[in-house]
Amino acid sequence: MMQLESMYQEIILDHYRRPLHAGLREPFDAQVHHVNPTCGDEVTLRVTLKDADGEAAVADVSYEALGCSISQASVSIMTDLIIGKPVSEAMEVSAEFLRLMQSRGEAEPDEDKLGDAVVFEGVSKYPARIKCALLGWMAWKDATARALAGAGASGDFKAEEQR
Ligand code: ZN
């Protein structure tokens, strides 16, 4: 178990140092900005959807994340898991991740569904860190709901200039 945890730690640090799909890209259907005030984590996240045989699918998720290694690694792993999937399937992955985070370390994570996201298994034992791991996923769900509703970018952040 110790070995597994240090391997998980390694994967988290790897995503933190070299985040996948990072940066804010155009075009996008919706953008949100979520904050985890308990830790100071922030993420600005954009979702682009596409039509795949009449079903909405995740064309792209781009983001700019600030904060702790858990929050940043989590959004990196999430984007790698869900880009290209139908939205319905990505929502299932997201629900599975939420279940894992609420398990207090008791869950048997579904590795087929969660892929690298199983590395956050240990985080579920630390209530203060759960919000860190969930930040990107909550932002994605929010942005996707807006995109599906055709709501587009939230007014607050339209004016925000990208560096
Ligand atoms: Zn954090």
pLDDT digits (tens, 9 = 90+) for 8-24: 999 999 999 999 999 99
Gap from CA of 141 to ligand 1 centroid (Å): 19
Gap from CA of 40 to ligand 1 centroid (Å): 6
Three-state DSSP at 21 gives coil
| 35, HSE (Cβ side, Cα atoms, 13 Å) | 3
Percentage with pLDDT > 90 across the chain: 79
pLDDT at position 106: 85
Gap from CA of 135 to ligand 1 centroid (Å): 9
Q: What is the DSSP letter of 118?
A: G
Gap from CA of 39 to ligand 1 centroid (Å): 5
pLDDT at position 161: 37
Gap from CA of 116 to ligand 1 centroid (Å): 18
Gap from CA of 29 to ligand 1 centroid (Å): 27
Q: Is the dihedral of CA 99, 84, 76, 162 positive or negative?
A: negative
Gap from CA of 150 to ligand 1 centroid (Å): 30
Instruction: For residue 150, name the pLDDT band (cuts at 50, 70, 90).
Output: confident
What CATH class is the domain 2-158?
A: alpha beta
Gap from CA of 110 to ligand 1 centroid (Å): 24
Q: Would the pTM of this model clear 0.75, i.e. be above it?
A: yes
Over 90: is that where the pLDDT of 163 sits?
no
pLDDT for 86-135, tens place per residue? 999 999 999 999 999 999 888 888 899 999 999 999 899 898 899 999 99
pLDDT for 55-67, tens place per residue? 999 999 999 999 9
Gap from CA of 13 to ligand 1 centroid (Å): 13
pLDDT at position 159: 34
pLDDT at position 143: 98
